[in-house]
Each structure stands twice: as structure tokens, then as C-alpha cells.
Amino acid sequence: MNGTDVATPSLPVRVEVSVWQEAPFDPAGEVIFAIGDVHGCADQLHALRAAIASLAGDVSAPTRVVYLGDLVDRGPDSLGVLDQWATDAGAHGVDRLDRLIGNHEMCMLLAVGDGPHAAAARERWLGHHMGGSIVLAQMRSRVGRPDAVLDRSLLDAAVGSTVCSGLDSMGAHLRLGNLLLVHGGLRPGVEVDPWLSVPWTDFLAAEWAWIMADFLQWPHGFGGLKVVHGHTPPMRHQALTGQADPHQFTQDRLCLDGGSSRNGIVVAAQIEQGRYRVLRARGPVAPAAVALPD
């Protein structure tokens, strides 16, 4: 999509803003800036936040940033991402801010806890597929304890009380007008409210953070809801849906996972009544990033 660039001179990152696209969005009178998976790409998030603040300054309606989850893992600076993510709405240049949980934050928080899913979450999170070992190394480096045990006290010491408060208060989803913002998506054919009410602490049972193929391959809509989500990066998305552009609204869904740790692209969307446009923050892929498909 052809659009404009927002320069970020202090960073090797540019934010591309697409042309407006028509879509049947009704965000209840607000302008929403939804941010997809960041996965430790702190420079891209910094540039994207600056672009959003600039665009929000030209808007007369109430503005809101919504993070769709998966801030951490795989990329070069997950802790730097969390530092930015934890700042308030004013620091983002908008009126309101919501933070939704992704499956990667879910695994991290369960892994540092002592609940019934801690061991399984720890094994999954520290495995190569999720890339949590990179975050563990970053936490140990920040606190200066290379052999620190992975537990809640390490997380608290590494990220501080403001970030921890934000992590503990993340929501599962957000509804605004006919929009549903959620990390993974919906399961077709089930009653929406009970399905979304499964708490994230139930780990894999909280399918709204994990679902992929069943959601993306469903062609019949979601009872009038327009779903804005992350979780599925472009290569995986294209294989499942056949869409040439995975960030195009179709079949009542809009995906904002840009594949950040693989290609250095963090994606957001500006959503208004009846239209949207896509913001892509492009930067170099750090050598330490873990390039995985989902």
C-alpha cells in the first residue's frame, strides 16, 4: 500500500503509513492505535510510538493505544520494550491506553510463578521455539547476577514495580463498538463471552491467546464483531489464508503481527469510523533475534 513515511532521525527505523482503507469499523467514537507483536524490537517500538503521537495530535476524537500482546521474547531488547510499554497514555501521546496479554507474556508470568502450570510454562518459555531464554539472559544481565534463579523476585528486580504492575493488570481482550481486540483470535462456532472469559492463568486453555488456523481459516464472520489481533506472523498467515498482504482487513479480521523478530517490522493500525490505515516500523534485524515463524 502506498502512503507516507514518518522519519525518525535518531534511529535506523522508518515508519511507513499506508493509505486509508475502507472497512466497517465502529470504534464507538474513538480513534484506536492498535500495536501488534513487538517481540523485543525496542527501536521499532520507539519509532512507532513517536509516529502514533504525531498522528494522534491531528485527531479531534478521543484517542487510545491498545497493545495486542507479545512484547517479549526473541528480539534484542525485551526489557527495553517493557520499559516503553509501561509508560502512561500521555507518554504515548493519546488519551487512553490498554495493555492486552499475549501468549508470550502468559508463559513468562506463569514461568516465574509457583502455580500449577509453572513447570510446563517454564519448559515451553525457555525452549528455542518461544525464545524466553533471551529474556532470562537480559534479566540476569540487568540485575548483575548471571546465575540468578528464574522466579518472580528476578522479574521484579529486573523490570521494576511499574512494569510489574502493568504485567499483573493486563487484560485478555477489549471491546469498543463492534471491535474486538485480542491477541490470538476467536474460535468459530462457540459462544464468545464464555470463551473469552477463560483466565490467562489457565495457560493453554485460554485459547484466545493461542488460536491460529481455526480462526484464520474461518470465512463466515464472528457475529458482527470485527477482530483486530496479532499472534500470527506474515509467513504463517499467508500459508494459512493465502492473503498476499496479511495486514489487510478481510473476513472480519485484521492481523497486526508484522513478524518483528524475523524481519524487523513492527505493525500497528490507526482505526477510525469506517476506515483504517497500517503503520509499519521497519528497522534492522538484530543478530541476537530468534527468527521463528509464530
> Can you give the CATH number for the domain in which 214 is found?
3.60.21
Question: Would you say residue 112 lies in a domain?
Answer: no
Domains contained in the chain, number: 1
Question: Would you say residue 150 lies in a domain?
Answer: no
Question: Would you say residue 294 lies in a domain?
Answer: no
Q: Which pLDDT score, from 0 to 100, does residue 284 have?
A: 85
Which residues of the chain carry a pLDDT beneath 70? 1-11, 286-294
Cβ within 8 Å of residue 221, ≥6 positions away: 251, 252
Question: Would you say residue 241 lies in a domain?
Answer: yes
Q: Which pLDDT score, from 0 to 100, does residue 290 have?
A: 44
Question: Would you say residue 245 lies in a domain?
Answer: yes
Cβ within 8 Å of residue 16, ≥6 positions away: 3, 4, 5, 279, 280, 282
Q: Could you tell me the residue range of the domain that residue 230 belongs to?
A: 3-101+171-282
Cβ within 8 Å of residue 169, ≥6 positions away: 99
Q: pTM value?
A: 0.94
Q: Taking the CA atoms of the chain, what radius of gyration do you get in angstroms?
A: 18
Question: Would you say residue 86 lies in a domain?
Answer: yes
Question: Would you say residue 74 lies in a domain?
Answer: yes
Tell which phi-psi region holds residue 253, choosing left (phi > 0), alpha (psi between -120 and 50) or beta. beta
Q: Which pLDDT score, from 0 to 100, does residue 261 have?
A: 87
Q: Which pLDDT score, from 0 to 100, does residue 128 have?
A: 86
Question: Would you say residue 188 lies in a domain?
Answer: yes
Q: Which pLDDT score, from 0 to 100, does residue 3 have?
A: 57
